[in-house]
Amino acid sequence: MSPGVLLYTSLIYVVLIQQAQCCVPSTIQAQVPVEVQAGYVVSKVNVGDCNSRRFYFSTCDPDFTVLPDGTIVTLRVTRVTSEGKSFCVWAQDQTHHRWKVDVTLTHTMQPQLPQQKTGVLRRFRRRWSPPPIYLQENSPPPYPKDLEQIGSDSSQNQSVYYRISGPGVTTHPVGVFSCEELSGVLRVHRALDREEFPVLIFIAHAYNRITHKETDKPLPITVNMEDVNDNAPEFVENSLLFTVEERSKVGTVVGQINATDKDEPNTSHTKIRYILLTGTELFSVHSFSGVISTKSATLDRETQEKHLVTVEIRDMGGALNGLSNTGTATISLTDINDNPPTFSEKSYKARVGENKADVLVLRIPVEDKDLKGTANWKVIFKITKGNENGYFRVDTDPETNEGLLYVTKPLDHEEGSHLMLELVAENEAPLVGAGAWMQVPVDLMVGDEDEGPVFSPPILTLRVKENVPNGTLIGTYTATDPETKTGKGIKYYEETDPASWISVDENTGGLKTTNMIDRESKFVSNGMYNMTVRAVDTSKKQGIGTVLILIDDVNDNNPVITVPDRTLCEQDGVLGSITLHAEDADATPYGEPFTFELGEEAVGKWKLKDAKGTSVVLQQAVALPYGLYSVPVVVKDLQGVGEAQTVNVRLCECATTTPGQEECVAQERSAVLGTWGVLAILLALALLLLLLLLFVFICSTKREKLYIDDGSGGMLIKSNTEAPGEEVKTDPFLLLCPSPVEAVDTQSRGQGVGLGEGLDQQTLEHQHQYQGNGFQTSAHEFVTSGGQTNIYASGHYGQGFYGDEGFQNYSVLDTWRTNELYLGNKLMYFCEEEDGRYADDLLKDYGYEGEGSSVGSLDCLSQMGVEEDSLDFLDALGPKFRLLAHTCTHTAEEEE
């Protein structure tokens, strides 16, 4: 040890000594009576600020003892002369440093009263309060025994008798004491145990023999039980279990034995002495404090983990006449890391295959004698040499404490077939003592395996412009065989090509474009496109390489206005404006900033301002009426490339002006005919068409034959209907919904009206053909004798349509019934299927949001000029309807 360390240690030792001396008094002076009784408290060794430290006290005078708290007590009766009495007290701390305290006793000048002796009968005249009675515990027979005689002062003037009551007399323990009534003699009738009844106080009463009234105040009588040494000391529970670190220094405190004695405290009956009967070569015990300390520094847990030491405790200060007891103290040694882990072999060898990763190469067993499962036992392995490139790692098996050597990166036999590692085994806890961590060499052989082709470089970077022509060679990517160092016999294939842009030449590894490369494609990230190429040698071994294609941008995208449909909110006195934003998929310098120009047809009505790179403000140049406007705007990129685009602007008064959430205020109801008006007109026309069909049917059944002077000699055959039919009257204000009916069965119309054999017909030019929902019609024109052209419609459900060659065996009645069915179904849809085929033709309620319409209600149109049961409306059906009426009239005149 260096001189500096010795000096430093000495200074610390001196400081500690001084600190201890400062808190332990060197002298104590106390005043005591001339005759000091046993158990008298003389004084106390006050350790002051050293209470945080533990002290053990002893005395050099056998007449005195020192309790663990420093209290000095007499063990036997001691007389103090006029010169006084001196003795010493020793104080010892946990480090076994001792300090001497000189105690000086001087007596007081007041004489001490003689002590009352027991067992002598005395009569106390004129004193109703006798001193306490002392009775030795467990005194031997015979019984009863006389204790004292009491006498009341009132017995001088009158005749009295005495009685006693209370503990020991009338309460527990009952019947121990009695009193003779006339003489006042107190007697004890059996032995008592001081440990059960240390003091008994009962009451004595004096009564007049004649009046039986008390002649004096009640007298309390105290009986003190004198202790005898009848209880041996006993160990406190669990006070014999101790732990101490192995290899502790000599004098290290192991613990303190605690014992108790039921006899009277602070007397020699309870002064316990501690003696070790076994284990004295390793441990020692302080005689009166019971503190056990180490006596040797050779305690080794790995040799013996527990030591059993027999301890004797004896009262009377260890005197031979004292009572004793024995017990076994168990001292367990706690572990320290005084044993480094050791390898079972001096060196290790292993073989590892090349191109292997995360593979266990070797298990390295070690042995550690320290306590299993603790930080002193757990091993940490470190590779101190040979792992500069990070190919290996060593883990620890938590169960066996073995080292697990793994290869973390693939090894190449061609780069090195032999590797040397050096491993060190350490513990989690630092090593105690002069030992050192052990190390062991590991010899690794790298096996040789047939490997697949290897691309060089592993990642090939190419640069190409987008939109290059198909078949352009953009680069070559080849691989070599690591065994032969050549690329002979290697074939190349596409492994991954997300956009199918590149083809790989099987023999040369050339990379050619097969599709147009687009930098703005979803397969391109940050202008880069990845693909992989697979190389296969003659032994079918494979290797993968990555091609990173950097795509240079070209100006192949025009700027586009992101939101072409906008709503412009106009305010009173302020011309409204909106901000247009544009985007260009191309990158700089083919993108922003953009230039904005207004189309010629919008000049004077609109204007552009505040252009900021990718946005511009479109504003009204003049006040414009509400409505929808198409504004042409030309947007060009930084290179001047762009085209005209149309911005659809809805100009209105807005309810909200939040950008992007503009909403127009609902306009008042317009006087222009709306949807419901159009539907009402269509419904009226449908009713008129039904009436027309009915009228034609009536006309066609007047005669058997109806001649049409059209030059063809054709005629219509009379139907089986002999009269126009019953007149059907309907409420002009009520629209009836017909029930769905089946189409006219053209295959079974035996009772229908057909064409006569002598009827000639001439088909004119086919004008119109209609197909819908399984129903087909064709329109035909016939020239009548009057030179007018009539058009009728024929129809058929389910199959084909009418040809251009005439009626084709279909009757006129079938035609009109089919038309009637078609119109009836449509009217039925009007009433029943709002979401069906004709849902848009239905009448719907129009929300009333303002003042009434200037044209009035449409309901009036259905009633205007219509009288119940009147057919005058047929006079105003139009020229075509008049032509049909003329045909029927002409037929009637011919019959006449």
Q: What is the 3-state secondary structure (H, E, C) of 597-624?
A: EECHHHECCEEEECCCCCEEEEEECCCC
Q: Which two tokens stand for residue 700?
A: 């066609």
Instruction: Look at residue 829 and give its three-state secondary structure.
Output: helix
- The answer to whether position 123 is within a domain reads no
The C-alpha atoms of residue 600 and residue 602 are separated, in whole angstroms, by 5
Q: CA-CA distances (angstroms) from residue 738 to 263, 726, 785, 831?
A: 125, 18, 37, 10
The domain containing residue 469 runs over which residues? Answer: 454-552
Q: Which DSSP symbol is given to 574?
A: B
Looking at the fold, whether 535 and 585 belong to one and the same domain comes out as no
Contact 169, 178 (CB under 8 A): yes
- The answer to whether position 318 is within a domain reads yes
Looking at the fold, whether 243 and 298 belong to one and the same domain comes out as yes
Q: For the chain, which ranges sit under pLDDT 50?
A: 1, 3-9, 11-20, 109-127, 668-672, 703-719, 721-811, 833-839, 848, 851-868, 892-896
Residue 483, pLDDT score? 73
Within 10 A of 229 (CB to CB), how many other CB atoms are there?
18
Instruction: Look at residue 371 and give its three-state secondary structure.
Output: coil
Q: Which DSSP symbol is given to 755?
A: -
Residue with tokens 């239905």: 842
The C-alpha atoms of residue 297 and residue 249 are separated, in whole angstroms, by 5
- The answer to whether position 704 is within a domain reads yes
Looking at the fold, whether 691 and 840 belong to one and the same domain comes out as yes
**370: which strand partners?**
none
For 15, the enclosing helix (H) or strand (E) is helix 3-23
Contact 735, 832 (CB under 8 A): no
Q: Choose among 349, 356, 341: nearest CA to 392.
A: 356
Looking at the fold, whether 510 and 616 belong to one and the same domain comes out as no
The C-alpha atoms of residue 484 and residue 514 are separated, in whole angstroms, by 33
State the pTM of this model.
Answer: 0.41
DSSP character string of 840-869: GGS-------SSPPTT--GGGGGTTT--TT
Cis bond leading into 589, ω under 30°?
yes
Looking at the fold, whether 397 and 542 belong to one and the same domain comes out as no
Q: Give residue 583's Cα distance to chain centre.
A: 41
Residue 331, pLDDT score? 95
The C-alpha atoms of residue 805 and residue 694 are separated, in whole angstroms, by 27
Looking at the fold, whether 191 and 251 belong to one and the same domain comes out as no
**545: which strand partners?**
533
Looking at the fold, whether 481 and 435 belong to one and the same domain comes out as no
Q: What is the pLDDT of residues 569-614, one digit of tens each?
A: 877 667 888 889 998 888 888 888 988 989 888 888 899 988 888 8
- The answer to whether position 127 is within a domain reads no
Looking at the fold, whether 443 and 459 belong to one and the same domain comes out as no
Q: How far apart are the first and last CA of the chain?
A: 159
Residue 56, pLDDT score? 77
Contact 397, 362 (CB under 8 A): no
**Which CATH number fits the domain that encloses residue 355?**
2.60.40.60
- The answer to whether position 162 is within a domain reads yes
Question: Phi first, then psi: what are they for 829, rounded to 5°?
Answer: -65, -35
Q: What is the pLDDT of residues 648-704, one digit of tens each?
A: 998 888 777 676 667 787 654 444 455 676 788 888 888 888 888 888 877 665 544
Looking at the fold, whether 289 and 375 belong to one and the same domain comes out as no
The C-alpha atoms of residue 4 and residue 885 are separated, in whole angstroms, by 143
Residue 532, pLDDT score? 95
The C-alpha atoms of residue 640 and residue 634 are separated, in whole angstroms, by 11
- The answer to whether position 889 is within a domain reads no
Q: Give residue 614's Cα distance to chain centre.
A: 43
The C-alpha atoms of residue 823 and residue 689 are separated, in whole angstroms, by 9
Q: Which of 489, 517, 552 is the last residue of a domain?
A: 552
Domain count, the chain: 7
- The answer to whether position 297 is within a domain reads yes
Residue 681, pLDDT score? 87
Strand locations in 375-478 (E):
379-385, 392-396, 403-407, 418-427, 438-447, 454-455, 459-465, 473-476
Looking at the fold, whether 101 and 156 belong to one and the same domain comes out as no
Residue 355, pLDDT score? 78
Question: Phi first, then psi: what are they for 577, rounded to 5°?
Answer: -150, 155
Contact 307, 279 (CB under 8 A): yes
Q: Choose among 136, 142, 135: nearest CA to 189.
A: 142
Instruction: For the chain, give the number of residues.
Output: 896
Q: Choose among 324, 290, 263: nearest CA to 38.
A: 263
Residue with tokens 């065996």: 809
Looking at the fold, whether 465 and 417 belong to one and the same domain comes out as no
Q: Which residues contact 250 (CB under 8 A, 6 or more apart)?
A: 294, 295, 296, 297
- The answer to whether position 203 is within a domain reads yes
Looking at the fold, whether 536 and 566 belong to one and the same domain comes out as no
Q: CA-CA distances (angstroms) from residue 273 to 56, 257, 805?
A: 13, 11, 145
